[in-house]
Amino acid sequence: MSRLGSLFWLILVMGSGFAMYMVKYGVQNVEGELAHVRRQTVAAQLEIRVLDAEWNYLTQPERLAALNQKFLQLGPIKPKQLETTIADIPLRPPPAPAPAAPPAELVAEAPAASGPKLPGSGLPVTPVALVTAPYTAPPTPAPMRATGTLDQLFAQIAGGN
């Protein structure tokens, strides 16, 4: 019994010693990593300072004005352009009552060119001319309210042109 007890304690001591050893080296590794990350952070922060300065240097009004002259030729805003404000633009009227025929059918019929004709005119009604249908936003090729990065936005703008 007493030998079994001693063995138990011996194993426990060795086990805890090993665990201690592992934890110690684990901590050392983590600390090394922390120091590394810290150095990286400092380097990144220094870089941010420089980039911030560079950004301000590149966006100084004088340079922007020169670039504007070269590429855009935008002029100062004239008071006339500001006569109407957002508040002056009427809100979109509430949607008209639902059309008698579901729009899906109209769309399906339209390519046949023998679709429903407007009363009094011989023009076939194309899906675009669904005057009675409630307004739907035109499908945008690239969603501009993207949550992506500036680079993606630039890529979109470049792609759009």
Report how far residue 121's alpha carbon sits from residue 133's, in angstroms, rounded to the nearest whole number.
19
Provide, rounded to whole angstroms, the least separation between the CB of residue 63 and other proteins.
10
Provide, rounded to whole angstroms, the least separation between the CB of residue 111 and other proteins.
49
Kindly list the residues in this chain that would bind other proteins in the complex (CB under 8 A). 38, 41-42, 45-47, 49-50, 52-54, 56-57, 59-62, 65, 76-80, 82-83, 85
Q: Nearer Cβ to other proteins, position 54 or 105?
A: 54
Provide, rounded to whole angstroms, the least separation between the CB of residue 57 and other proteins.
4
Question: What is the DSSP annotation of 34-100?
Answer: HHHHHHHHHHHHHHHHHHHHHHHHHT-HHHHHHHIIIII-PPPPPGGGGSS-GGGSPPPPPPPPPPS
Q: Nearer Cβ to other proteins, position 56 or 147?
A: 56
Provide, rounded to whole angstroms, the least separation between the CB of residue 45 and other proteins.
4
State in Å, rounded, how far the first CA of the chain is from the last one.
Answer: 87
